[in-house]
Copies of this chain bind each other. A is one copy, B any other.
Amino acid sequence: MRHLMSPLDFSVEEVAKVLDLASDIEKNPAKYAHACDGKVLATLFYEPSTRTRLSFESAMIHLGGQVLGFSSAASSSASKGESVSDTIRMISCYADICAMRHPKEGAPMVASAVSGIPVINAGDGGHQHPTQTLTDLMTIRSLKGRLDHITIGLCGDLKFGRTVHSLVKALVRYENVRFVFISPEELRIPSYIREEVLDANGQEYKEVERLEDVIGELDLLYMTRVQKERFFNEEDYVRLKDFYILNKEKMDLAKPDMLVLHPLPRVNEISVEVDNDPRAVYFKQVQYGVYVRMALILTLLEVNV
């Protein structure tokens, strides 16, 4: 039995297989509409995340399966002192596969060690969020046609942004990917990413402070939200949050085929005037997220269609 804890759990070949399957689902949804008839997905969300939870639920429903679970710790037995290990052993009696979101790093890993069913990490604290990364990869591959030979800009909160770290780790495995990190000094990409992921791979990258200076050279721009909850004080948040806002003016400097991605939710780091630009693909990304999760559920349940 296999779990998904980190985007790197899958080899490059395995990622390609999952994305191929997701693409086939996109093209032939009816073929998969009953693939999980009689199967049950448990969504164990110890912290709320509507986007991710509903994406999983939509994925399972579109495979013909059913869903049960909880959407916050308050309504879980964690509030009665139950360990994650005991909860997953219980859930293993109720469902065939589970997606777990937890505020503590490593909680899904602890669960997977004793689970009777495949566990998908749906985000653990500031640590991993592998299905977001697979979603990003599918969006890029589907709309750019490739995962290699690209120049990608990552903009905003690069220090706390879990999705950014995961995406960088996933993309260094492809040939000729150039990274451009765009952030204020205070929110630079952590040194362990620079040293262990980028330098260790002999990866080409640069760090800049102004989006305008580099937007013209990008094939992809990955924007991120400046999350209030990651800041130590209100003042820092207010000072930095509007620093890197993408608007029509900046888009005018970009290549005609540069794509804009965003893990969402977006607050104001992308001006709504950009939404109708055909290069803005962050809402398409949401749809790819459903296909990827469908492919992942099928893969981990070893269902062949």
In the assembled complex, which residues on chain B have CB atoms less than 8 Å from the CB atom of A70? 50, 54, 71
The answer to whether B54 and A267 have CB atoms under 8 Å apart is no
In the assembled complex, which residues on chain B have CB atoms less than 8 Å from the CB atom of A247? none
Tell me, rounded to whole Å, the shortest Cβ–Cβ distance linking A139 to chain B: 12
How long is the Cα–Cα vector from A50 to B88 in the complex, in angstroms? 12
Question: A94 at interface (Cβ–Cβ under 8 A)?
Answer: yes
Interface string of A21-54 (1 = CB under 8 A from B): 0000000000001000010101000001111001
Question: A145 at interface (Cβ–Cβ under 8 A)?
Answer: no
The answer to whether B290 and A94 have CB atoms under 8 Å apart is yes
Tell me, rounded to whole Å, the shortest Cβ–Cβ distance linking A275 to chain B: 8
Count identical subunits in the complex.
3
The answer to whether A264 and B76 have CB atoms under 8 Å apart is no
Q: For chain A, give the interface size range.
A: 35 or more
Question: A89 at interface (Cβ–Cβ under 8 A)?
Answer: yes
Question: A91 at interface (Cβ–Cβ under 8 A)?
Answer: yes
The answer to whether B33 and A86 have CB atoms under 8 Å apart is no
Tell me, rounded to whole Å, the shortest Cβ–Cβ distance linking A10 to chain B: 23
If A81-B265, A82-B266 touch, does A286 touch B72 (CB 8 Å cutoff)?
Answer: no
Question: A69 at interface (Cβ–Cβ under 8 A)?
Answer: yes
The answer to whether B68 and A54 have CB atoms under 8 Å apart is yes
Candidates B38, B50, B68; contact of A57 at CB < 8 Å: B68
How long is the Cα–Cα vector from A267 to B77 in the complex, in angstroms? 11
In the assembled complex, which residues on chain B have CB atoms less than 8 Å from the CB atom of A143? none
Candidates B40, B76, B289; contact of A50 at CB < 8 Å: B76
